[in-house]
């Protein structure tokens, strides 16, 4: 028994010598540099699940905090003023039927019947509402070619720009009290709260100019690839506007029907949006509510305070190939288990487990290790490229802030 243990120890030690030797000869994939700004800013992922499962343990309610004004942003340029929709009457408008494009769709009539039977909507009012909605070809075209389909070397320059980094600093400073309060209340790294809003809408510059009702109706009944998903989101949108006492025609968002600074889809708005400024309304066009809502979303999906998000990785041999997946996967391997496959972090990596990520960068293949928090970001948008853009933008803003 003693001799067996000694042999095991000797074999283990020799294994680690081989790992360290491989690490010294493998190519390091450096952090990519910044590139010129591109204008196209895609909205929230239209392919996320409609109602993310709740975590087993709900958050402990936090006592109401005293309202503190955010300090004025100390230096130019100031951020543009953000339009905040005003609440309207909860009753759906009774409009004259005008032969709208979708009224002839049997699927819409089935949908209206279900909304009446399940949720108590007035069928006549819904008929009048949808009579005003026309098919939008531009929405279908954009949904068919999302930005996440681009390779990483083209996707990254959309988001990692000097303008977006500097504007992230400005946003953080302007709403410092809200950012820090949300980070403390929900246990989220503040740089990632800011970065998600930066990637989603450039800190409120581009929250979308499509009618949410038109976008969801178009995709629900004229985009077969995701028709079930968008019909569920259209159902959630009508419930949301009824709950928030807003006319369904009032709100504008992305081509996929996502709303506000954080680009929440309707189901996420209902489940995760917060009235963080405590004014009695959950308004995601309001920066303070958006900040608190993004933090709540990350917390509810399992953010681990104190853990890192991602780090470049060394790889050697061929064993690593079986660890790769095109879609985000929940980390399930310890660093020691990864080392057996000749995979190791370039720098110190605070994470209990990780997954291996491959991106096609401008200088070739980039290998990264993503921890649990990287996976949490992919719950916001189911894309490794999206999560990496958020991570690199967060790190760039943090560096500029000196934090």
Residues in the chain predicted with pLDDT less than 70, given as ranges, are 1-100
What angle (nearest 5°) sits at the alpha carbon of residue 294, between those of residues 252 and 357?
A: 105
What pLDDT score does 324 carry?
A: 93
Residue range 104-146+205-301 forms a domain whose CATH class is mainly alpha
> CB–CB of 183/193 below 8 Å?
yes
What pLDDT score does 70 carry?
A: 55
d(Cα 163, Cα 36) in Å, to the nearest integer? 9
d(Cα 337, Cα 152) in Å, to the nearest integer? 27
d(Cα 259, Cα 83) in Å, to the nearest integer? 12
What pLDDT score does 56 carry?
A: 41
Q: Residue 255 carries which DSSP code?
A: T
Full-model pTM: 0.77
What pLDDT score does 69 carry?
A: 52
Cis peptide before 31 (omega within 30 of 0): no
d(Cα 289, Cα 182) in Å, to the nearest integer? 10
What pLDDT score does 326 carry?
A: 83
> CB–CB of 42/208 below 8 Å?
no
Angle of helix 384-401 versus helix 372-380 axis, rounded to 10: 110
Q: Would you list the DSSP string of 371-402?
A: -HHHHHHHHHSS-HHHHHHHHHHHHHHHHHHT
Residues labelled catalytic: 200
What pLDDT score does 158 carry?
A: 96
Q: What are φ and ψ of residue 57, in 5° steps? A: -110, 115
d(Cα 263, Cα 146) in Å, to the nearest integer? 15
* Beta-bridge partners for 312: 368
What pLDDT score does 163 carry?
A: 98
Query: Cα-atom radius of gyration of the chain, to the nearest Å?
Result: 24
Q: What does the domain layout of the chain look like in residue ranges?
A: 104-146+205-301, 310-370
Over residues 242-265, the pLDDT tens digits come to 999 999 999 999 999 999 999 999
Instruction: Report residue 46 as tokens.
Output: 């239209």
What pLDDT score does 325 carry?
A: 87
- b/e burial code for range 295-307 (CB count within 10 A of at least 16 → b): bbbbbbbebeeeb
């Amino acid at each position: 028994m003693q001799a067996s243990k000694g042999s095991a120890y000797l074999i283990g030690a020799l294994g680690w010598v081989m790992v360290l030797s491989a690490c010294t000869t493998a190519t390091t994939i450096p952090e990519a540099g910044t590139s010129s700004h591109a204008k196209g800013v895609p909205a929230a992922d239209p392919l996320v699940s409609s109602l993310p499962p709740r975590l087993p343990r709900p958050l402990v309610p936090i006592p109401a905090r005293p309202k503190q004004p955010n300090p004025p942003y100390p230096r130019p340029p100031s951020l543009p003023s953000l339009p905040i929709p005003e609440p309207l009457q909860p009753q759906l408008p009774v409009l004259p039927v005008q032969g709208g494009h979708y009224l002839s769709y049997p699927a819409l009539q089935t949908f209206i019947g279900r909304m009446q039977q399940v949720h108590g909507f007035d069928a006549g009012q819904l008929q009048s509402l949808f009579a005003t909605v026309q098919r939008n070809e531009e929405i279908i075209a954009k949904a068919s070619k999302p930005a996440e389909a681009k390779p990483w070397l083209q996707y990254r320059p959309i988001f990692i720009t000097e303008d977006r980094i500097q504007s992230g600093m400005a946003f953080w400073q302007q709403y410092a009290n809200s950012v820090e309060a949300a980070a403390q209340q929900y246990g989220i790294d503040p740089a990632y709260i800011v970065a998600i809003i930066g990637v989603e809408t450039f800190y409120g510059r581009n929250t979308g100019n499509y009618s949410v009702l038109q976008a969801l109706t178009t995709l629900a009944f004229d985009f077969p690839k995701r028709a079930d998903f968008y019909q569920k989101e259209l159902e959630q949108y009508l419930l949301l506007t009824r709950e928030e006492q807003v006319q369904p025609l009032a709100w504008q968002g992305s081509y996929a029907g996502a709303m506000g600074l954080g680009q929440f889809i309707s189901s996420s708005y209902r489940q995760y949006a917060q009235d963080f400024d405590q004014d009695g309304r959950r308004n995601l066009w309001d920066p303070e509510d958006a900040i608190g809502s993004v933090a709540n979303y990350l917390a509810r999906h399992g953010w681990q305070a104190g853990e890192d998000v991602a780090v470049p990785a060394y790889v050697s041999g061929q064993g690593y190939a079986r660890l790769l997946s095109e879609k985000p996967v929940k980390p399930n391997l310890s660093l020691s288990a990864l080392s057996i496959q000749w995979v190791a972090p370039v720098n110190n990596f605070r994470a209990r487990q990780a997954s291996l990520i491959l991106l096609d960068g401008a200088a070739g293949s980039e290998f990264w290790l993503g921890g649990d928090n990287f996976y949490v970001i992919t719950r916001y948008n189911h894309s490794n490229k999206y999560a990496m853009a958020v991570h690199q933008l967060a790190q760039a803003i943090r560096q500029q802030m000196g934090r």
